[in-house]
Amino acid sequence: MRGISLVFNIYVANKVGSETIGIFSLIMSVYSFAITVATSGIGIACTCIVSEEFEKKNYINGIKAVRTCMFFALLLGIVASILIIIFAPCVTHFLLNDSVSPMPIYAISLGLPFISISSVIGGYFSSVAKSYKSAISQTLEVSVKIIVTIILLQFSISKEIEAICISLILADVFSELFSFSLNIIFYLIDRKKYINKRNLPIQMKKRIFKIAFPISITSCIRSGLSSLKQFLIPLRLSMSGMTYQMAVSGYGLISGMVMPVLLFANVFIASFSGLLVPEFSRLLAGKNTNRMKYICNTIFKSTFIFSIAMSSIFLFYGNELSILIYQNLEAGKWLKILAPLVFFMYIDNVIDNILKGINEQVSVMLCNIIDLVVTITIIFFVVPHLGMTGYILSIFVSELLNFTISSIQLRKRITFSINVKNICIKPIIACILAYGITMFFNFSFLPFLWNVVFKLAFFIGVYALIIFLFNIKGADRYYRQFHN
């Protein structure tokens, strides 16, 4: 479904253009901030508490925690909607340079209560090892979003940017409403075996606030800074000599076209990294430190090997991918430049979820806040002088700083070890050898699409073979320690 979403987003980007994608991306940064306010750590609190209670066989307390989290989520969703409506005119005037009216921002408010409650239900399903139910609702949500978007764009594509943005947002709201309805049905069916009508003990409510409140505060600060960063980028780019339209177009090219392609393969990481939150919550509750070390070592070995391969693909084949996806070379340049960051972004995703599972959610948020403050400083002072080069510099600093701080935080809590030679140096050598071998084979007799597909498939196959021949190991001794 992530693949389908990427293809569909490419279709939309090619249809509406980079300037519209830039404006829409800015509006979505407001949406992202509103979702942060609406969820405010309640979903993570639900995941952690339910995981701990179910591990201790306290099923009734776990269900009661879900019910209370849903109530708080509804209140937060309503508050977020009201705030969006109040501040919409200011956002469009001061941050969007009056490129659109407040109407697209107003449309955002419609789906926030549904999103906030769905986050709690999703946290519940993750904690009870029934993520397939969330996967079903997300799959159908994407399907509904695509269908509604296509229908609405038929009426708005020939109109102004504002009408297109409203259509895209309404499609998202409608799909969220559909997903919410499905999640509620799944949850009501699942909770029947645990349901109890007694009141939730006050100490449980305190536990929810203890987890959710600091996450809420730090999340709002982080998301607010993130939105400010997104709005600053075109404003400061326009001070480097570009027009505002050119700046928005450049921003849209990177954030709305290049980054989704770079992050696409992260779906293979995210498919299990999200499940690390309840898994490490259970291990923390059981004080099973050896198992934590073993899982860390095993996951990092796989993630390093995979991430290095993906970075190499974008570095070696960025131009071909750009022509294949966007029918031009404009994105290819940036795909190749940003390719090294793919490794750090993918690994950081795993680290963040492990930290959340061991109750370091606030530390993760503080790391993100430090990262954003540094990045905003670069955007504010450097981008007006360096233009797009300064913008790219800010992305590099952001990802590397975030990765470094997160890694240090994790090492302080879990003393696992990494064999750099086996899981880093050897995969890099394997990528170089795989690319060199692939260069000997000529697929030019094939149509361009199949030419690129065969190149990538051959590269991945050779890379996997070399990794196998290198016989990369890393977790064996932890496996033996765990079982001993």
What's the Cα-to-Cα distance from 290 to each of 274, 277, 278, 480, rounded to whole Å? 21, 17, 17, 10
Please state, in angstroms and rounded to a whole number, the distance separating the CA atoms of residues 278 and 48. 6
Looking at residue 200, what is its pLDDT? 53
Percent over 90 (pLDDT), the chain: 43
Mean pLDDT in residue range 194-221: 67
Which pTM does this prediction carry?
Answer: 0.78
Task: Kindly report which listed range (4-8, 151-155, 232-236) carries the lowest average pLDDT score.
Answer: 4-8
pLDDT tens digits, 339-358: 999 999 999 999 998 998 88
Quick one: residue 327, left, alpha or beta (phi over 0 = left, psi -120 to 50 = alpha)? Answer: left
Which of 382 and 266 is assigned the larger pLDDT? 382
pLDDT at 444 over 80: no
Enumerate the domain spans of the chain: 1-242, 265-484
213-222 average pLDDT score: 76
Distance CA 182, CA 330 (A): 41
Distances (CA, A) of 187 to 14, 285, 314, 315: 39, 25, 41, 44
SS (H, E, C) 100-130: CCCHHHHHHHHHHHHHHHHHHHHHHHHHCCC
Indicate if the pLDDT at residue 202 is higher than 60: no
Q: Taking all residues of the chain, what is their mean pLDDT, rounded to a whole number?
A: 86
**What is the C-alpha separation between 335 and 342, in angstroms, rounded?**
10
Give the amino acid at 173. V
pLDDT digits (tens, 9 = 90+) for 283-330: 887 888 888 888 888 899 899 999 999 999 999 999 999 999 888 888
Residue partners of 400: CB distance under 8 A and separation at least 6: 341, 344
Question: What whole-number distance in Å separates Cα of residue 341 and Cα of residue 258?
Answer: 12
Residue type, position 401, single letter: L
pLDDT band at 59 (very low <50, low <70, confident <90, very high): confident
